[in-house]
A and B are shown apart, each in its own frame.
Chain A
Amino acid sequence: MIRILQYLGKSTRTSFTKLGRATYFLLQTVSGIPSVLLRPRLLLNQLYSVGVLSFLIITISGLFVGMVLGLQGYYTLSDFGAEETLGVMVAASLVRELGPVVSALLFAGRAGSALTAEIGLMKATEQLSGMEMMAVDPIKRIITPRFLAGLLAMPLLAALFSAVGIIGGQIIGSGLLGVDEGAYWSQMQASIDFHDDILNGVIKSIVFGFVTSWIALFEGSDAIPTSEGVSRATTRTVVNSAFSILGLDFILTALMFGE
């Protein structure tokens, strides 16, 4: 019994110190933003590895998710004779939930894990330490550009995911199942609100981009500098990002769409 309490106490303490380190890390990262903005080349290089390299997986997944929504939605809605509202259903689920959430999960798996591994290996091979000894701040030179790139890329990727998904739903809905194309779009436009749906979705994806990049970069720089430590940190990035994305999604949804 005492042991369980001890274990509980110890794990509480370690998780608090980790949270403290993570917060300090975030503050350092954010304080590096002005100097990165003065050197946009650094940001551009990272936008490439974070954004462009995630582009394909995001668009292809988006297309398939949209097509599945089109199929499933059609079968359910046609029971009520409401096939015309298929566009609303596809668009609302993508824009509000699936777009931000699924693209963030994919982003954590594709870009987040790569970021953690990259930073962890740089730490293990003394590259970060070496940079520090060359009087170059690794936070400003390495961490902040990647953080900003994640923050910028995430909403763009989520928007692409939703847009491609809605087109995918339309391909299935009106191309294959015969929902009227005009009804698909006009019902959608009548029901999807720019402020309530689109903007809230964008805000969600920015929050997810922030959290995922933060977790990925922190786990990388907090990794034990061995190959095992780095691989564990990579796993932690994916798991912790997924938890945070889903948990935050619930909170954000309750705040945004609750009355």
Chain B
Amino acid sequence: MDNSVSSQDSLVSVRNLSFSRGDKIIFDDISLDFERGKISAIMGPSGTGKTTLLKLIGGQLFPDKGSITVDGQNVHKLRRTELYNLRKRLGMLFQSGALLTDMSVYDNVAFPLREHTHLPESMIRTLVLMKLQAVGLRGARNLMPNELSGGMARRIALARAIALDPMMILYDEPFTGQDPISMGVLVHLIKSLNNILGLTSIIVSHDVHDTSAIADYIYVLSGGKIVGQGTPKEIQQSDSEWVQQFMTGAADGPVHFHYPAKDYVDDLMSVGKRY
């Protein structure tokens, strides 16, 4: 099923990617495509290396095997300056927001503009206020990052990620640890930014409901392999037991409740051994 998706209009294509940390295999020969202008989601249980995949796409990590192409450029064959030029066209929303703690909200959003453009300060002000308005936090511009709630910090980080009008945004667990209202706000924002700015979005998440509400296409990863892919509807109707367990959140199924161990009764009876 690996190469079943057509790659003609994909902005990011991952081919035969393998990656391991020490002895642990994170990805085992997987191929994915992310279509231009769509919201794609990568789902899977914690610890399956979803964030690692984003870091590979952003060129912060190097794969053991395989290639990742973003907008026709092989990320890991680029020279440093070329990679940096590519990154200017990518936005990434970190799980923690990753706001610079020694700067105000305003300066945080202005940061990429000041670093990469030579725009006059008045123009930067206009741009920053526009981006803050888009996330609904224009009034919070003088706050410091430690004065923000988690949801606000993520929205500021989103404003910063779109500051340079990127072609694509990578979202790392955008819904984790949010109350229902900020969750709703973020879902709405991701959807509307994607439609209004014509972005391509890649969301990494294990939140089934909200992600399937906005995603156009979903990949489900587990144990370094793709175990399911398709539109949200297709995924929900998947006949894979594993995908079903993940989507419904059943406690036992192909993923066992118990960590691998020897027989329970034997274990209890083997008195005298400490482990």
Contact = CB atoms under 8 A, between A and B. Distances in A.
Interface of A: 121-122, 125-127, 129-137, 141
B111 A134 contact: yes
Contact of A127 (B55, B60, B99, B112): B99
A121 B102 CA distance: 12
B112 A130 contact: no
B115 interface: yes
A135 B87 contact: yes
Given A135-B84, A135-B116, A136-B112, A130 B101 contact: no
A125 B96 contact: yes
Contacts of B98: 125-127, 129-130
Interface residues of B, number: 22
B96 A126 contact: yes
A137 B83 CA distance: 11
A126 B95 contact: yes
Given A125-B101, A135-B85, A135-B87, A130 B116 contact: no
Interface of B: 55, 58, 60, 84-85, 87-88, 90, 92, 94-96, 98-101, 111-112, 115-116, 157, 160
Given A125-B101, A127-B99, A127-B101, A134 B94 contact: no
B112 A134 contact: yes
B87 A129 contact: no
Contacts of B84: 135, 137
Interface hub of A122, A135, A136 (most chain B Cβ within 10 A): A135
22 contacts: A122-B101, A127-B98, A127-B99, A129-B55, A129-B60, A130-B94, A130-B98, A130-B157, A132-B87, A133-B60, A133-B87, A133-B90, A134-B87, A134-B88, A134-B112, A134-B160, A135-B115, A135-B116, A136-B111, A136-B112, A136-B115, A141-B115
A24 B87 CA distance: 24
Contacts of B160: 134
B273 to A, nearest CB: 24
A186 B55 CA distance: 66
Given A133-B58, A134-B87, 11 more contacts: A121-B101, A125-B96, A129-B60, A130-B98, A133-B87, A134-B111, A134-B160, A135-B115, A135-B116, A137-B84, A141-B115
Contacts of A137: 84
A126 B85 CA distance: 21
A132 B60 contact: yes
